[in-house]
Structures are given as C-alpha cells and as structure tokens.
Amino acid sequence: MLTTKTFRSVQPLRKMLQPAVGCAEQRRGKVLTVENMNPHVKQMEYAVRGPIVIRAGEIEEELKRGVKKPFTEVIRANIGDCHATGQKPLTFIRQVVALCTDPDKLMKDPTYPSDAKERAQRILDGCGGKSLGAYSDSSGVRVIREDIAKYIAERDGHPSDPNDIFLSTGASDSIKTIMKMLMTAKDGKERAGIMIPIPQYPLYTATIAEYNAYPIGYFLDESNTWALNIPELKRAIKEARSECKPRGIVIINPGNPTGQVLSRDNIEAVIRFAKEEGLFLMADEVYQHNIYAEGSAFHSFKKVLMEMGPEYRGMELASFMSSSKGYMGECGFRGGYCEVINLDPAVKAIQIKSISAKLCSSVSGQAVMDVVCNPPKSGEPSYELFMKEKNMVLGQLKTKATMVTKTFNSIEGISCNVVQGSMYAFPNIKLPKKAIKAAEAAGMKPDVFYCTQLLEETGICVVPGSGFGQREGTYHFRTTILPPVEKLQVFMDKFKVFHKNFVQKYQ
C-alpha cells in the first residue's frame, strides 16, 4: 500500500531520473528524418506547385499587408484550375450534385428542373441507402459506370463495358493505379521503364520517382506542332533498354503543357510502335473537350485502335478522363475515370483488389463525372441553358488560345506553337547569354531565373519549362489560358513590356 511516507521517499528519486529521461528523449530524436525517410519520395518534384508558386503566395500575403509592389495583384497562370481563375460552374452540374446532397428538401423544390431531378434520382438509387454519403463499390457506382460506358460508346462508335471502367479521384489516381501494376519491384536493369513525353505533365515524373521506376523520355517535335516522331520513340526505347525493362508508353492528347492535338495518322503510328515493342498504352485524354484550332479534332486511342484491324484490337490500353478540365473545370470534386481494355482476367482481378484497398473514390466526384457523361439531351428542360453555358466556356477558351498564340509570336525572341487544344501554351524563349550567366551566378536554371524575375516585377506567375522537361539549350515556360479575357489581355501587355526590358537589361 502506497503511504504518504513512501510517496515522499520516492520523490527525490523521480527528480534524479527526470533529466536522464529527458536526455534519452533528446538523444533519440525523431523517428522519421530526411536522412532515413523513403528516398524515392524525396526525389518527387511537382513543378506546377513548386518554389515560384510558393513565392507567388508569399507576394499575395505581402500585398495584403500593404507592401508596395510594381503591381496590385498576382495573376496566377501556373495551374489548370478553371474556377480559381473565375470560370463559373455550369448550372446543371451543380443542380444535380445539390439534389444528390440534399434530396429530402430539394427534390420538392419546383425551381429545380425535372431532368436534373431524374439524373440525381438515378444516381441516388445506385447508392447504398440512396445516399451520396455511402461507400460505393470499389470501381464506382454501377449506374455511373453504365453512363460512362454509354458515353464512350457514343463517342467512339464501338461498345464499352461498364466492367472495364473504374472511377477515381481525378485522373491522377487512376494513372497511378495503372502505373503501379506495371512496376517490376526490381532494381537496376530489371526495374520498370515508362515512356513519357518531354515536355510532360509533372505527375508522371513524380510518380515514376515515387515508384522507383525509370523515366524513358521521348522528345516531342517542337518544329512540327509537338508531334510524336516514331524515329524519336525508337531512339528513346533503344537507349533505355540497357537501363530498364520498358513496360508502357504514356501519351497526353491533347497535350499538357504543349497544347497540341494529335492527328489520327500520328496516333496510328504510335499504336503500331507500341505493338512492335510490347508496350502497355496509357492515353491521358482529360482535355478531349478542349479543341480550338481549325482542322484539329480529337480522336480517342480506343477508337483508332479498334479501327486499325483485328491484330490491334486485343492490345492493352488504359484511357483516362477527368471532370476537372474540359468545359466543366470542377477540379475540387476530384472526379475521374479510367477505362482499361483487354486486361488478362487474372490481372483484372488483382487490379480490382488493388483499388478495393482504397474503398472507393469520392462519391460526390463520381456524381459530377456522371453528369459530364450524361448531360441534358435535346428536348429536355435544361438542354438550352446547358449548351449555352458549355459553348460560352469553350468559345472563350478558343478566343484566348488565339490571343495567346498571336501575342507570343509577335514578340521578338519568343516563338509559340498554335494552341490547338487543352488549356496551355508552352512558348520558347531565346535568352541572352548574359541572362544565362546571371542565372548561373544566382544558382538558378535560366528559365527559373526568367520566371522569377517575371513574377517579382509584374506579378505574373507561370511555370518554368525545366519543370516539364525540354531539350538541352532551349528554354520555355508554361502558362494557362484560363484567366478571363480582360485579365489575360493585362497579362499579355505586362509580359510584352517585361520581356523587352529583360532582353535590354541582359543584352
């Protein structure tokens, strides 16, 4: 029994032990440190949210505190976040999501159109307990996958099986799911190699680093509207075979960051190459609605593959789509899907097991994806407003694509391929030698130095081309075309003055 006397007798001992315990904790330190953490995670980089973007956020805070700058606002053109730059949500999408979220109240509201209520009820009937708050099947709500399959079939003119489709947290999550299955779990020459375009979207290099795979970069042809040249693909894979085991090829169409739209002939040539080399096709097609240039058209890899004949129809292909881009721009809902065709049945079972570990993607995001694939039809109450809003968004993007292309090409020392699609331009900048030396003295890459100066002097935030990859000795930056027309014109005017002054300074 612990008495007051006993308690008092142990007090000095406790005081003696306290410093020792404290020292032990101090010596032990943190369990996880930069030195002992996963080295592959440390290697990951994501340029569109990199140091320049962080600095842009700091400048915004400085402006709020009244710090004087040669500008009054930061123009963010670093990321394809449509609504953040002022695009308004489409009425029908938000109506259906609202109805799914609060059906007891809103289904009785006469201001909501009947077709929105029908869409919402169809989705809710497919959910557990008829609630958006319930887990769905790992692959996604069955009726949503059925609507996506119908959308794909109507788009391509070829059947689509709902069982080949799984919903994901944006396209990014499904891309990582497929890429993970292609890994060999080996090092050295046996580790998996994934062919990626250069320039590329940083998700791919980041994921390849995280999975300890080998990036097989193939250069897009800037002199030919960023096309995929087959001799370049063959060069890249030949050089990589001594370093890795090539397993798949990624194609981004329409292009990010390059804004190109591949011709059907180009797609056919890539498919033939993939078959010859035994590569899994990964088609990133999230910008399929974003086509602007005359003569450009979107051709899905699945459609082309199916029409190339029996010898190609059995090829493995994963194609990715998202509700974050297009005319929708619903980035925050994180809706996306992947259609995977011709998987070995045993592999497919393991793929389902793999996504089951994550339970399911956001069901509200799945609902948004459903509306994208099952929009109002002609004759339905919401059709006219939906088409008006959709065409307005795409029409403005087309206007801005033309504006950006013409403006960049009017500036001495800047060249820019036509923005045929997606949401970006990737202009080439000719930097004076003194500017390159100044960048080296500052410990920066030349394009990073240029973009940093652009931000500090004008408030314009873009992403250096080195974050996406580029041919050695060339310099670029990526800008979105998303800001409203008026603000984009301010961007262009400021940029012209900045570039002229920058060149004169380092001439």
**pLDDT, position 4:** 44
Distances (CA, A) of 290 to 12, 58, 452: 75, 32, 29
CATH topology of domain 47-86+387-505: Aspartate Aminotransferase, domain 1 (3.90.1150)
Q: Which residues pair with 285 in a beta bridge?
A: none
- C-alpha 72/C-alpha 89 separation (Å) is 27
- C-alpha 197/C-alpha 228 separation (Å) is 8
Distances (CA, A) of 472 to 106, 198, 369, 408, 450: 57, 11, 40, 22, 16
What lies within 8 Å, CB to CB, of 453 at 6+ separation is 498, 502
Cα dihedral value 73, 484, 398, 364, nearest 10: 100
469: phi > 0 → left, psi -120 to 50 → alpha, else beta; which?
Answer: left
**189 SS3 class:** helix
Task: Supply 44's token pair.
Answer: 């990951």
**pLDDT, position 186:** 83
**pLDDT, position 5:** 47
Task: Supply 43's token pair.
Answer: 């290697």
Decide: 214 and 244 in contact? Cβ < 8 Å: yes
Instruction: Look at the pTM and tell me if it is higher than 0.75.
Output: yes
Decide: 102 and 116 in contact? Cβ < 8 Å: no
- C-alpha 170/C-alpha 369 separation (Å) is 10
**pLDDT, position 435:** 94
**pLDDT, position 45:** 57
Q: Tell me the CA end-to-end span of the chain in Å, nearest whole number.
A: 88
**pLDDT, position 29:** 75
Dump pLDDT digits (tens) for 159-197: 999 999 999 988 989 999 999 989 887 888 899 999 999
Architecture of domain 135-373: 3-Layer(aba) Sandwich (3.40)
Task: Supply 94's token pair.
Answer: 């938000």
Short-list 395, 490, 470, CA closest to 427: 470
Q: Which residues pair with 322 in a beta bridge?
A: 336
What lies within 8 Å, CB to CB, of 354 at 6+ separation is 177, 180, 181
**pLDDT, position 373:** 96
Which residues does the chain have with pLDDT short of 70? 1-28, 32-33, 36-49
Short-list 336, 327, 388, 400, CA closest to 362: 336
**pLDDT, position 372:** 96
3-state secondary structure 460-490: EECEEHHHCCCCCCCCEEEEECCCCHHHHHH
**pLDDT, position 196:** 96
**pLDDT, position 18:** 55
Burial level of 142, CB count in 10 A (0-12/13-18/19+)?
middle
Task: Supply 309's token pair.
Answer: 């004949």
Taking the domains of the chain in order of start, what are their residue ranges?
47-86+387-505, 135-373
Fold match flag (47-86+387-505 vs 135-373): no
Dump pLDDT digits (tens) for 342-358: 998 988 888 888 887 77
Distances (CA, A) of 30 to 25, 38, 383: 9, 15, 59
**pLDDT, position 2:** 43
